[in-house]
Structure 1
Amino acid sequence: MSMMSKPRWSLLATVTLVTTLLAGAPAAAQDEGPITDPIPEDPVTSELGLTVREFAQFPKSEPTPAPTDPRLMRHARINHLGELPDGSGRKYVPDLNGNLYFVPESGEPEVYLDVKAEFPDFFSGRGMGQGFGFVTFDPDFRRNGVFYTVHTEAGAALDKETTFPRQPRTQYHGIVTEWRADDPASDTFHGTSREILRLGFAQQIHGIQQIDFNPTAKRNSEDHGLLYIAVGDGGLGVSSTEPQDLSTPHGKILRIDPHGNDSVNGQYGVPASNPFVGQQDAVGEIFAYGMRDPHRFSWDPKRGPGGNRMFLGHIGQHAIESVYEVRKGDNLGWSEREGTFRYDRADDCYLYPLPDDDGNYDYVYPVAQYDHNPPPDWECGTDVGRAISGGFVYRGDDAPELRGKYLFADLVDGRVFYTESGEMRRGAEPATIHTMRLYDENGNWVTTPELAGDTRVDLRFGRDADGELYLLSKANGKIWKITGTKRFADCPTGSTVVKNAMGEKNWAPVTPEKWEFPRREVVLAEEGSERPGPRRPYEYAVLTKGPEFGSVRLDAQVRLDTPVEVTNRDVVLVFGYQSDTRFYYAHLSTDNTIYPHNGIFVVDDADRERIDHQWDPVRSQGAAPAITDAEWHEVSLTHCAETGEIAVYVDGQRDPLMTAVDPTFTSGRVGFGSFDNVGRLRDLSVMGRKS
């Protein structure tokens, strides 16, 4: 988890930098000052959601020693799901507090190995990633019974010799252990173990995260049977260049041959194909470097051109959570870079534009990234509660609409994201990040905090042998399987159509003299004035042609005639209209920074209430501005009466600009208007189901 943040004040430092900041390998910026909002654009709300069903519930577990940090007080600290590479269908799940579970098809977890009991100095009660961190199984497990674990130790263990020189003032050791089961088919471990690697870390953060084999590597290929080890910087990158130092394993991804013996400790081999083998003062085990906290990595199973790429979810420091495509020899830039920005170790609060000579350093930049977006009064240097958990490119069969999408999450708040793998290209503009909704087995919208029963979700992804994906939460120790997809506001809207309704006789304005009806247009020619009663749009006209609709879809083109210099200009689309004080409206505005603008609202005999999902009251920011110019714009609005789902699309975008779920009105008429601005409507089409 990120330990530092940055305050979010004005956008003045970044107004001229937007193009630069969004680029994968951006050019140097003109302004060299600190950047207060590195990525102004939020992830896009996707129309595509995930359907999930509960797969397993794990028993409660306790850290050792008893924790003082409430973030470690979880039901069960499960953090990964995989499937044994033996065709048995058994899933495996590690719990940081000590147990390795097997989960058969029944979904009932069974303890396969108590890792904690095997090590007297086992340590899981301090630091976010301490304990039994990860497990992976040898590709030939069915034959040889071999698998590997990562765990942490403290206390007397700190006197033990480490494989490489430990960091100064070491507080714990991270250990990779090889286990050999006597009977690979057994559901309880019996066998032997040996230590193959031990590293010492200065702080109780950023240790050994994931260890894994490349599941796409064919037998006899270079990568087959080689073990990847993601090693964090031990928290030292904020003040040192250790992640850039090739003489130490910290802040690197290592690649070793666990069946070899030519390492410095003789317990594993160093692949001759590693990029720094033979280089003076370089650790030959290093595969890639320049990392702070490399949390989760995976390979895209796709074959052929563009396939089998390795993606890494990398947890940032000041502001940036990022996804990298990692190749042999890559330098991700930490602690000189954070995402596509320059990191200054003397500044605890800000990131900076890249320097003019950035191209000389050969840093690799993210293929996707998002920032922390803390509140305006956030105290610099404290944990803002954002941290990426890497995921997987989906290539399964249960959810065809997900194929080719890289799914990942923010492990703290539980947001689920995807990017298109085809957009994730090195050296290009970072891919668009989409936020996904979740639906339960009955099709009801549910949030991850609701599923987990906690606002701190501690969410991770898992994948089985068929390529199907799972969600895991430490908060309540549950796993859910992703069973398919569901589109938001994808209801049948009926077959009753209203067209050719632009004539004056088809409209009922609040103030008729303010309106004009030239051919094919409805024009609000004079701004409205505030009226008695609840706060609501000042001036609008209701379409009287056709019936009242239940579920309805409205398509039209709108234009704002108020000069573009006026930032708070708007037009509104009215729907679910019952009366002058009971209706919905979608507010389309240039300004997305104040409560009454650029959102979806309900008026129910009281002042308008904002109901869209995009509004963030802490940051006082909503969806991206809907209209910023004087041109015509296509707008589509769908209201599903039975579910209360509302979606607003602008200019043919695949994903909705605004969404809401509200049950207040299940039928009504549609209309067009504004508060105190002028604008016009044309090419109106209304299709719905008679109420």
Structure 2
Amino acid sequence: MYRRLSRLAVTTFVLSALFMPIASAQSDAPIADPLPTPGASGIGLELTEVAQLPESKPVPPPTDARLRRYNRINYLGEVPDGSGRLFVPDMNGKLYLLDHGVQHVFLDLGAVVGPDFHNHKGLGSGFGFAAFHPNFKRNGKFYTVHTETGSALTSKKPDLPSPADMQVHGVITEWTASDPRASVFSGTHREILRVGYASFIHGFQEIGFNPNAHWWDEDHNLLYVASGDGGIGLTTTVPQDLGLPQGKILRIDPAGRNGVNGQYGIPRSNPFVARTGALGEIYAYGMRDPYRFSWDSGGSHKMFLGHIGEKAVDSVYEVRKGANLGWSEREGFWAYKKNDPSCGVFPLPPDDEKYGYTYPVTAFDHNRLASSRPCADSGNALMGGFVYRGSKIPALRGKYIYGEGVKGLIYYAEEREMRTGKPMATTREMMVYVNGQLTTLKALVNDPNRVDLRFGRDAAGELYVLAKANGKIWKVTGARTFASCRTGHDFVAGATGSRSWEPVTPALWQFPGREVVLAQPGVARPGPRRPFEYAVLKKGPAFGSVQIDASVRLDTPVSESNRDVIIVFGYKSDTEFYYAHLSSDNTIYPHNGIFVVNNADRLRLDHQWDAARSVGAAPAVKDTAWHRVRVRHCADTGEIAVYLDGSPYPLMTAVDKTFASGRVGFGSFDNIGRLRDLRVQGKGVR
């Protein structure tokens, strides 16, 4: 199958990971839901549009609709010469410079390559990436990745072992500008490395230099190359074969000459240089689609890789020299079985530690629909990002910000928690604001199906967001906390007497001192669908913006299903109010969410509800213990957040402006429970 093919019995490298189970299974069956959906962070990124690059199209027109985008911009970086110029490659062939707001074409790579330039088939095809030499200001050198087909497949020979039936070549080119200060490239170029791939996907991805490396570091001026598995790792051992370049991170010296073609060097410090049958270019291995990597400019300067998984899990890894990330024997923290009809993941074997695989530092799963074919495209792709170390937004410092590219979701994990061999760091979802208004990237690009999100970073460490769907670039210019309005200084506390409350059905309630007790379940009443029984707090004023703090307990036995209590706010009348539903179940529409009743059946408002999967935020109350609840409602913005048990992260969030003020209350549908330690603070409305 391969030219110069060598099959090695892979000797594991001494990098063991302590497996901490996220989802368990007692039998050798696929794990249906490996990871919980990332919860809300309560942090929103302020995005400011800085550019829209020109529309471009693959040639010839592609049959795959996923390639028919406004353009195919896929990265933003800063030219390392102190000029402040930003560079952006478009996979359809051109490299743009953004020079303090002025955009222009720096290099038309597609035109230089000519007819063999390939960009119309395969999501990774075309002009894949650009990386400027750290010393570009003096030497004028930068590097690009592109794909070739056509006559190149027969007239040009790959430098490293490649499939005999290869479909595409990945090519790395060195360019030397005559004048590094020029706005349009003029100079020379040379090919330094060519590799063949078995399909049009998972070829060369990112290339880059470690920005933290000094002249005395082994990484100094060495070029890292992310090389995918060519789309065949799911049924072969290619990513595990140290004699092959596919499914690896390579590290080469562009200024060296001891590589196989004499156009690059193999660093002596690479981990497999002395191993018989192994490629000296390999830095780490065991990868499917190592799409994006970056180095933390702070902390301990770790290298993080955003890795796109097969059918179940996408992961972020800390990449260390010689590490084996496990593909295609492992996917994320789980075992992967070739040719398994479920295309799922499985529990690790009892002797897993002996293999020495490196496991993720954070991850998310694909949350496939039950109606989906098991091996169909899941529609998920992890977009690796950066640890924020900029100075403009203190709230983001130390956060590794990354995302899911198709839907345009932005996530983060705390870098201090991202430790190889430790339990994975928690990933949380971030919100998006533009001009102070909460929005989504899908709304910004006006495309409900594909955002095609990517990230960028400038020399100061500030972050950028890009979208192929409309070719726009936004700078992250701030961060804000959701529902963080000032609520005012009016308050009510210690209201547990019967005179302070107005129940729907007084006979069902008890007021034994420090608690407000719904002692008997309510029953459905005529009118719109809404909670059966609740009591409204009469003491004090109605509130506009408000924060409600209380402890609640569900007295209905755990053995019963559909247990709930509710917190009422914005109450105007028996058919006009909001409520937060706190339930032991999160799998049906009426449960565990934020709702509004407005003279009609209750309407669900929270962002966490996934109607396609019929699942919402994690169950709020699963036992009969006391739980601390906080509800914040900002009248001006309509932002609503519900917190549980002192967590700084909201369990549920929503935005609605139906009611700008009202009273608060407590109750349930048809369960029993109690409330204590109530404190309501806000802006009184009289």
Task: Please indicate the TM-score interval, normalised by the length of the shorter structure.
Answer: over 0.9
Equivalent residue letter for 2:274:
G
**Counterpart-to-counterpart distance in 2, 1:242 and 1:34:** 25
Offset from partner CA, 1:97-144 (integer Å, 9 cap, x none) = 0000010112x3210000000112101000001000000001110000
3-state DSSP of counterpart to 2:216? coil
2:467 matched residue in structure 1: 473
Residue identity in the other structure for 1:186: A
Tell me by how many angstroms 1:165 deviates. 2.4
Match of 1:174 in 2: 170
Deviation at 1:27, TM superposition (A): 10
- The Cα shift of 1:296 comes to 0.3
State the secondary structure of the residue aligned to 2:317: strand
Within 2, Cα distance between the matches of 1:506 and 1:611? 29
Displacement after TM superposition at 1:44 (Å): 1.3
Indicate conservation of the 8 Å contact 1:32/1:352, yes or no: no
> Is the partner of 2:507 in helix, strand or coil?
helix
Any conservation in 1 of the 2:33–2:367 contact (CA below 8 Å)?
Answer: no
Report the alpha carbon displacement of residue 220 of structure 1 after superposing the two structures with TM.
2.7
Query: How far apart, in 2, do the equivalents of 1:28 and 1:281 lie?
Result: 38
Q: 2 CA distance for matches of 1:25 and 1:31?
A: 15
Of the three residues 432, 437, 445, the one matched with 2:438 is: 445
- 1:290 is matched with 286
Which amino acid letter does the alignment assign opposite residue 319 of structure 2? Answer: V
Q: What letter corresponds to residue 70 of structure 1 in structure 2?
A: A
Residues 30-83 of structure 1 deviation map (CA, whole Å, 9 limit, x = unaligned):
623223424241101011110010011100011122111110011110000000
Aligned to 1:224: 220
Alignment partner of 1:394 is 2:373:
no
Offset from partner CA, 1:278-320 (integer Å, 9 cap, x none): 2100000000000000010000001xxx510000000000210
CA-to-aligned-CA distance 1:217-263 (integer Å, 9 cap, x gap): 11231101000000000011011000000000000000000000001
Native 8 Å contact 1:24 1:366 kept in 2: no
Distance in 2, matches of 1:142 and 1:227, equals 17
8 Å CA contact 1:83, 1:92 repeated in 2 = yes
Counterpart amino acid of residue 76 in structure 1: N
Change (3 A) 1:40 1:293: closer
Superposition RMSD on alpha carbons, in Å? Answer: 1.2
User: Contact 2:50 / 2:474 at 8 angstroms: preserved in 1?
Assistant: yes
Alignment of 1:455-466 (within 5 A): 455=448, 456-466=450-460
CA deviation map 1:426-449 (0-9, x unaligned): 1111110010001112x1001011
Q: Distance in 2 between matches of 1:408 and 1:451?
A: 18
Q: Distance in 2 between matches of 1:567 and 1:309?
A: 47
Q: Does 1:249 align with 2:207?
A: no
Q: Please, which of 104, 114, 127 is the counterpart of residue 99 of structure 2?
A: 104
- Secondary structure in 2 matching 1:376: coil
Q: For 1:505 and 1:470, how far apart are their aligned partners in 2? A: 56
Q: Aligned partners of 1:39, 1:28: CA distance in 2, in Å?
A: 5
Q: Cα gap change, 1:66/1:28 in structure 2, threshold over 3 Å: closer, same or farther?
A: closer
Letter in 1 for 2:575: T
Q: Which residue of 2 aligns with 1:334?
A: 327
Q: Closer, same or farther in 2 for the Cα pair 1:599/1:500, shift >3 Å?
A: same
Report the number of matched residues: 665
1:32 and 2:32 aligned: no
Q: How does 1:15-54 map to 2 (within 5 A)?
A: 24=19, 26=21, 31-54=26-49
Q: 1:542-691, aligned counterparts within 5 Å?
A: 542-691=536-685
Structure 1, unpaired ranges of 5+: 1-21
Structure 1 residue 412 corresponds to structure 2 residue 391: no
Q: Determine the C-alpha separation between the residues in 1 that align with 2:18 and 2:517.
A: 41
Q: Is the 8 A contact 1:29 1:356 kept in 2?
A: no
Counterpart contact for 2:418–2:424, Cα < 8 Å: yes
Q: What's the CA shift for 1:166?
A: 1.6
> Is the Cα–Cα contact under 8 Å of residues 581 and 594 in structure 2 kept in the other structure?
yes
Between 1:283-292 and 1:374-383, the stretch displaced more is 374-383
The change in CA–CA distance for 1:27 and 1:498 in structure 2 (over 3 A counts) is closer
Q: TM-score, normalised by structure 1?
A: 0.95
Question: Which residue of structure 1 lines up, in the alignment, with residue 263 of structure 2?
Answer: 267
Could you report, residue by residue, the CA deviation over 1:548-591 in whole angstroms, capped at 9, with x for unpaired residues? 11111100000000001113110000000010011000000000
Number of the residue aligned with 2:191: 195
Separation in structure 1 between the aligned mates of residue 465 and residue 25 of structure 2, nearest angstrom: 43
Cross-structure match for 2:13: none
SS of the equivalent of 2:151 reads: helix
SS in structure 2 of the partner of residue 47 of structure 1: strand
Please state if 1:93 is matched with 2:91. no
1-structure distance, mates of 2:615, 2:21: 26
Give yes or no for contact 1:28–1:358 (8 Å, CA) kept in 2: no
Give 1:663 deviation, angstroms: 1.1
CA displacement 1:486-513 (0-9 Å, x = unmatched): 1100011111011121110000000001
Compared CA separation, residues 389 and 30, structure 1 to 2 (3 A)? closer
Larger mean Cα displacement after TM superposition, 373-382 or 208-217:
373-382
For the residue of structure 1 that corresponds to 2:127, the secondary structure is coil
With 617-626 and 161-170 compared, the bigger mean Cα shift is at 161-170
Aligned-residue offset at 1:381: 1.6
Q: Distance in 1 between matches of 2:153 and 2:59?
A: 16
Q: Distance in 2 between matches of 1:154 and 1:204?
A: 10
Flag the 1:28–1:407 CA change in 2: closer, same or farther, 3 A.
Answer: closer
Give the Å deviation of 1:25.
5.0
Q: Distance in 2 between matches of 1:294 and 1:344?
A: 20
Provide the rounded CA distance (Å) in 1 between the counterparts of 2:341 and 2:465. Answer: 34
SS in structure 2 opposite 1:408? strand
Aligned-partner Cα distance in 2 for 1:433–1:376:
24
Tell me, yes or no, if the aligned pair for 2:31 and 2:347 is still in contact at 8 Å. no
Cα deviation 1:399-447 (Å, max 9, x = unaligned) = 1000000000111110000000001011111110010001112x10010
- For the pair 1:316 / 2:299, whether they are aligned, the reply is no
Which of 60, 68, 72 pairs up with 1:73? 68
* Gap change, CA 1:318 and 1:527, over 3 Å in 2: same
- Maintained 8 Å contact 1:251/1:290: yes
CA deviation after TM superposition for structure 1 residue 690, in Å: 1.9
CA distance in 2, matches of 1:629, 1:331: 42
- SS of equivalent to 2:674: strand
1:155 is matched with which residue: 130, 150, 153? 150
Amino acid at match of 1:301: S
Aligned pairs for 1:519-534 (under 5 A) are 519-534=513-528
CA contact (8 A) 1:57 1:109 kept: no
Cα drift, residue 365 of structure 1: 0.3
Amino acid paired to 2:458: D
In structure 2, what is the Cα distance between the partners aligned to 1:227 and 1:524? 67
Residue 8 of structure 2 aligns with which residue? none
Q: Distance in 2 between matches of 1:30 and 1:475?
A: 40
Counterpart Cα distance in 2 of 1:563 and 1:491: 38
Using a 3 Å threshold, how does the CA distance of structure 1 residues 30 and 641 change in structure 2: closer, same or farther? closer
Match of 1:541 among 535, 539, 550: 535
**DSSP-derived class of the 1:155 partner:** coil
Contact 1:136 1:213 in 2 (8 A): yes
In structure 2, what residue type is equivalent to 1:518? Answer: P
* Matched residue type, 1:255: R
Task: Find the aligned partners of 1:326 and 1:452 in 2 and give their Cα distance.
Answer: 33
TM-score normalised per structure 2: 0.96
How far, CA to CA, are the matches of 2:365 and 2:21 in structure 1? 17
1:104–1:655 Cα change, 3 Å = same
Deviations 1:178-206 (A, max 9, x none): 00000000010000000000011111100
Q: Is the 8 A contact 2:23 2:35 kept in 1?
A: no
SS at match of 1:513: helix
The verdict on how the C-alpha distance between 1:199 and 1:151 changes in structure 2, with shifts beyond 3 A counting, is same
Please tell me whether the aligned partners of residues 49 and 437 of structure 1 are also in contact (alpha carbons under 8 angstroms): yes
